[in-house]
């Protein structure tokens, strides 16, 4: 889905946990209107008043948190931009770049 490649190329929906390998969504006219993230993306991004992350990411630690941050950026870009990366003109470049991630 475009959500996994709107900026970063992502293979799995990271969050604070790694319980599910997919996100769920409701589409309308080809765009996701409701997004359900069962791996607690918000928990991976949450910081306390001291600026430190509030909860650990398990089982992947800080690497998993980095992927969660990337997913959050992809979601933000998907929500605020058009889905240009689903255009056929971009597929070859995306597939080439995916080999080099």
Give the 3-state secondary structure of residue 36.
Answer: strand
Per the structure, the complete domain to which residue 91 belongs is given by: 2-98
Instruction: Give pLDDT, residue 89.
Output: 54
* pLDDT reported for residue 91: 62
What CATH number does the domain containing 50 carry?
Answer: 3.40.50.12140
**Per-residue pLDDT for 88 more than 70?**
no
Partners of 53 in the β-ladder:
47
Total structural domains in the chain? 1
The whole-number pLDDT of residue 56 equals: 97
Rounded Cα distance between 63 and 41, Å, is 14
Distance CA(74)–CA(79), nearest Å, equals 9
Task: Supply the pLDDT for residue 75.
Answer: 92
- Whether 45 has a pLDDT exceeding 90, the answer reads yes
Spatial separation of the C-alpha atoms in residues 70 and 63, rounded to whole Å? 11
56-76 confidence digits (pLDDT tens): 999 999 999 999 999 999 999
Q: ∠ CA(91), CA(78), CA(16), 5° rounding?
A: 105
């Amino acid at each position: 889905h475009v959500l996994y490649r709107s900026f970063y190329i992502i293979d799995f929906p990271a969050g604070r946990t790694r319980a599910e390998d997919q996100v769920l969504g409701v589409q309308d006219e080809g765009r996701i209107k409701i997004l359900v993230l069962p791996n607690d993306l918000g928990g991976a991004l949450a910081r306390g008043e001291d600026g430190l992350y509030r909860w650990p990411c398990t089982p992947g630690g800080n690497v998993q948190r980095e992927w969660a941050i990337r997913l959050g950026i992809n979601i933000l870009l998907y929500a605020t931009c058009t889905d240009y990366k689903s255009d056929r003109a971009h597929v070859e470049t995306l597939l080439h770049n995916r080999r080099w991630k």
